[in-house]
Every structure is written in C-alpha cells, then in structure tokens.
Amino acid sequence: MNRVTLADMSEELLQHKLSAIASNYGKIGAFIHIHPVFQNLGIYISQEKSIVKHVFFMAKHLKKSLTEAGRYERSCFVAVTQLDGAFGLEHNTNFGAIAGGLFGLVKTLRWEWPNVFTRGIDLSPALNPQQSAQFILDELHDSNLYIPEVAYGSQGRVTLIS
C-alpha cells in the first residue's frame, strides 16, 4: 500500500500532493475521510477545525477528478465521524461538535455532484475497528443513492427523516 503524507495542512501542499498522486497512479476516483476522535472540552479545538477545513479543500480540488470518474464508474466522497453513532442525538458521548460540519459538506456535494456517491457516516466510538470497517464497506456498496447520511450505534443502522 502506498501512503502519501502531508507535512503541513496548507492548500498549496495539498494541491501538489494530489497532482503527484494523479501523475503516479492515475485520476482519483474515491475519497474517504475518517475523522479522528476529539473530546469536547467546552472549547473548539483548532486542530479539529483545521482538519475539517482541509476536507473542504479536498472537495474543492477533487471535484473534477471525482465527477469525471463518476460519469463512467462509481466514484465516491465519504466522510466518517465517530460522534455517538446517532448523529450526536443520543448525548451519551463527549464528542467534539466541529466534525458535524462534515455532514453538511456531504449533503451539499450530493446536490452539486449528482454522479458522485456521497455519504456521511457516524460510527459509535464503542464499535471495534473490524465492525467499523465493515460498516464503511457496506455503505460504499449501498444502492440507495438518496440517503445522504447514516449512523451505526446502539440502535443499529439509522438515518434521519423529516
């Protein structure tokens, strides 16, 4: 497995690395962001804010590649959080709220990139890594393109309805 790491969170370095990936491996057809767990300390954590901002930059710079790939095959943009496995509605964990902004990004991209599979996934932090990986894979293969976000937690797989 090849790994690309960023020395800093600058947009310029991100653009450079994405160009290098495209040159070395071909166009990017999938992006999955797995957000780290941040505890709510009553303040916004600047590191978490920087990561979410960086995911927005990823969307900006992957738009062309993902939408082109989506014309011929299933391309995807997926954001995975670990709020509480219920979109933060169970109030049983002490999660950082900034990651919730990723769901807004995914829902917006769903409308702006209709040929790209987009999904926000909230996994309970109580899930083990194997369960989490399986749930992510299950969502990547979900045929229902109308669901923008799902959660896996104490109630199983849930979505939001209005």
Question: 105 lies in which domain range?
Answer: 29-158
Residue 111 lies in a domain: yes
Residue 72 lies in a domain: yes
pLDDT in tens, 99-154: 889 999 999 999 999 999 999 999 999 999 999 999 999 999 999 988 999 999 98
pLDDT confidence band for 42 (50 / 70 / 90): low
**Whole-prediction pTM value?**
0.91
As a whole number of Å, the end-to-end CA separation of the chain is 42
Q: What is the pLDDT of residue 69?
A: 95
Residue 17 lies in a domain: no
CB neighbourhood size of 51 (10 A): 18
Residue 12 lies in a domain: no
When divided into structural domains, the chain yields a total of: 1
pLDDT confidence band for 1 (50 / 70 / 90): low
Domain harbouring 144, CATH code:
3.40.50.720
d(CA 142, CA 154) in angstroms, rounded, equals 21
